[in-house]
Structure 1
Amino acid sequence: MGRFLMIDIGAGTMDILLYDAATGEHFKAVAPSPVRLVAGRIDATQGNLLVTGVEMGGGPVTAALRRRAADAEVLMSHSAAATLHHDMARVRDWGIRLIDEKAIDRLAGDERYAPIVLEDVQPVRIARIIEGLGFPMNFDAVALCAQDHGAAPQGVSHLDFRHNLFQTMLDRSPLPHTLLFRDDEVPPAFTRLGAMARGARELGAAEVYVMDSGMAAMTGAAQDPHARGAQPVMILDVATSHTVAAVMEQDRVAGFVEYHTRDITLERLEALLRELAEGRVRHDRILAEGGHGAYLRHAVGFDALGAIIATGPKRGLLGPSRLPIIWGAPWGDNMMTGTVGLLEALRCRKGMPPIRYL
């Protein structure tokens, strides 16, 4: 049957779910996210930096490196610099010096530079967490998710690019669980997911899969028991950095909106939920007001919703809402939305029977 490891790499936390298909047992952990730890390491050092590694989540890491470049020398490999921006000219404009691999090898161990490694997948740390739970690092498959904006062509907004990628894929198949990619299937545009897939090979699993966290959140929230028999449903995952709201009909997406959590208010979120259900949401308008994007396949009508289910670490934003919010907990845990989505996508991919948790 299989032993599976699911990891949701967010801006605030790294959420881990282990599932043993033979016994039906599962175990879980919530830890600080890699981006928080790496940004903390940068801030804990002084002076010049030698930054290597691969593309990972930006946010605090980008801010920390830009601050350091203002008063010290920051040298970066091209692969690590993609964390900050895919336009290397923009990275150079921030005062960061890009160097090739030969220069990196030459400077390794140079005491003038504190070494910083960028990576979403931290194999040693993950192994310690798993072994701390009492299990060996021995899995048939590992599945990971994170948000990937995609590497947009020159002159194209990365948000428009991301929107177009998902519109194309969801128009072809509105089942978000089908957007789980094996490590050799990752679309080239998803550069962060590609880096994660390569890094995850070090976890020793027989198979590696990756998925965008928005698609995983939709899939996972739809597994909440309140969603059964209450179709269509509105699901929300109010995460540390991004908020996803989606209308689901069984396992199919009717539409969704993504917003930066820091920019959204309760009033705007409540209005967005109505606009999404009624089919009045528009991608260009969401972008214009500072949102992240929107996709609409068809309207279901707000009054037709069987339930509005909220998950995610920042769902307290909805506490004062007058809407009939249900506090969701896929697999009994508000923090496991993404990992449950990964497991469900993996289950569908492998043709396993449904997994029921009550």
Structure 2
Amino acid sequence: MIELQKNMARILAVDVGAGTQDILYFNPAKEPENNLKLVLPSETQLLARRISMSRGDVLLTGETMGGGPVVMAIMEALKKGRRVVMTERSARTVRDDLAEVREEGIEVVTEEEAEGLGLPRFETRDLDLDFLFTVAEKAGEGEPDFIGVAVQDHGFESGKSDRAFRFERIREVIERGSTLEDFLFERPPEYYTRMNAVVRQVKRRFGGGVAVIDSKFAAIAGALHGVDERPCLCVDVGNGHTMVALVDDEIEGVLEHHTHALSKEKLIRYIKRFADGRVSNEEVFNDNGHGCYIKNAPGLKNIKRIFATGPNRRILADTELRAEPANPFGDVMMTGPVGIVDLALKKFY
């Protein structure tokens, strides 16, 4: 358990999801429950709404951001015969492969070309830092010392399945012996286009430390906040993806699937077999999931505690697994942000 000492850094932690952005301003001088917390619509939700409410042609500039709602709004605009133009980084919000973006009917231009178009402009970004800093100031907080952000990033390699590529990169980290801190990047690998976009955006506005992490690993870390028992099994049941992780002193295994493909019964079967080391990568991938890698399986009977988090965590309520709802800092919505804070304090302070 991390000791929340008063000489530690103030950290702004933002977990960016498809529906909400969950925000924690961690001030070590305060009791954890008294820290500033916000749950707001995610930037992809807000931008999708602005595009849908607008009329005429659309120009999108800025950074690569989370897709989902904003991509649906763009596609709806195209169906209505509206012209959609995007700069290259912005266009990777739709697809990392720009040829595929153009195939959708979207015009992809350079920043210089965008300047002369005279079209209504919308900015793609995962964070509104000016707004967050204003809120912090009005709440009596100054600028933080460190910003940590969680986003989901499949990674990209031309010609390769994003499902396969994402899980290959996760497996590489776990195979060499890793803790959750190893998934927190100051300098993300180039193939993580969205993570790199977040780092660029933050550094343009902020001179302190910055790091990014995949949302799933932030949630796993947050679920384990203050938990000393090992091994534990953590299940993050998100809107899009579900991750199951075995955590001892190191990460001992990960399984990731699409939530919509998992009934309660199917998920429980996967979890039990995963803990016993009886799920293969091929099985999960062929079931339209991302994959599975098990380094060491302690067996379900040896798991000390099981935690459930994520917006669909209730799927594991009142089951034979006896999963506990994760609520670090007394708030189920802060699992990701608290995970970011814990990992940043361990790795950088």
Q: Same fold (TM over 0.5)?
A: yes
Length, aligned pairs only: 339
Q: Which 4+ residue blocks in structure 1 deviate beyond 6 angstroms?
A: none
Output one character per residue of 1:201-220: Cα deviation in whole Å (capped at 9) or x when no partner. 24425111111112212222
Output one character per residue of 1:309-349: Cα deviation in whole Å (capped at 9) or x when no partner. 11222212223533312122122111111111111111111
Alpha-carbon distance in structure 1 between the residues aligned to 2:29 and 2:92: 41
Counterpart residue number, 2:195: 193
Alpha-carbon distance in structure 1 between the residues aligned to 2:189 and 2:13: 20
Taking the TM superposition and a 5 Å limit, the aligned residue runs for 1:113-152 are 113-136=119-142, 138-152=143-157
Counterpart residue number, 1:241: 240
Output one character per residue of 1:121-156: Cα deviation in whole Å (capped at 9) or x when no partner. 2222322332353323x111111111111121x221
Aligned amino acid, residue 69 of structure 2: P
2:196 corresponds to 1:180: no
Could you tell me which of 295, 298, 304 is aligned with 1:297? 295
Aligned amino acid, residue 268 of structure 2: E
Mean Cα displacement is larger for which, 82-91 or 277-286? Answer: 277-286
Alpha-carbon distance in structure 1 between the residues aligned to 2:221 and 2:11: 17
2:89 corresponds to 1:91: no
Aligned amino acid, residue 295 of structure 1: Y
TM-score normalised over the length of structure 1: 0.89
Could you tell me which of 214, 217, 222 is aligned with 1:215? 217
SS of alignment partner, residue 335 of structure 1: helix
Shift of 1:181: 1.5
Alpha-carbon distance in structure 1 between the residues aligned to 2:291 and 2:128: 30
Counterpart residue number, 1:356: none
Counterpart residue number, 1:12: 19
Could you tell me which of 79, 83, 88 is aligned with 1:73? 83
**Structure 1: which 5+ runs fail to align?**
352-358
Does the CA contact (< 8 Å) of 1:177 and 1:344 recur in 2?
no
SS of alignment partner, residue 298 of structure 2: coil
Shift of 1:274: 1.0
Shift of 1:119: 0.6
Taking the TM superposition and a 5 Å limit, the aligned residue runs for 1:28-43 are 28-43=37-52
Mean Cα displacement is larger for which, 23-32 or 36-45? Answer: 23-32
Alpha-carbon distance in structure 1 between the residues aligned to 2:14 and 2:320: 34
SS of alignment partner, residue 60 of structure 2: strand
Counterpart residue number, 1:342: 340
Alpha-carbon distance in structure 2 between the residues aligned to 1:205 and 1:343: 18
Shift of 1:79: 0.9
Alpha-carbon distance in structure 1 between the residues aligned to 2:262 and 2:139: 37
Alpha-carbon distance in structure 2 between the residues aligned to 1:44 and 1:51: 15
Does the CA contact (< 8 Å) of 2:63 and 2:201 recur in 1?
no
Alpha-carbon distance in structure 1 between the residues aligned to 2:111 and 2:325: 49
Aligned amino acid, residue 17 of structure 1: L
**Structure 2: which 5+ runs fail to align?**
1-6
2:284 corresponds to 1:286: yes
Counterpart residue number, 1:354: none
Mean Cα displacement is larger for which, 285-294 or 331-340? Answer: 285-294
Alpha-carbon distance in structure 2 between the residues aligned to 1:294 and 1:332: 31
Alpha-carbon distance in structure 2 between the residues aligned to 1:260 and 1:36: 21
Alpha-carbon distance in structure 1 between the residues aligned to 2:261 and 2:76: 23
Output one character per residue of 1:172-221: Cα deviation in whole Å (capped at 9) or x when no partner. 23201122112xx2211111101001111244251111111122122221
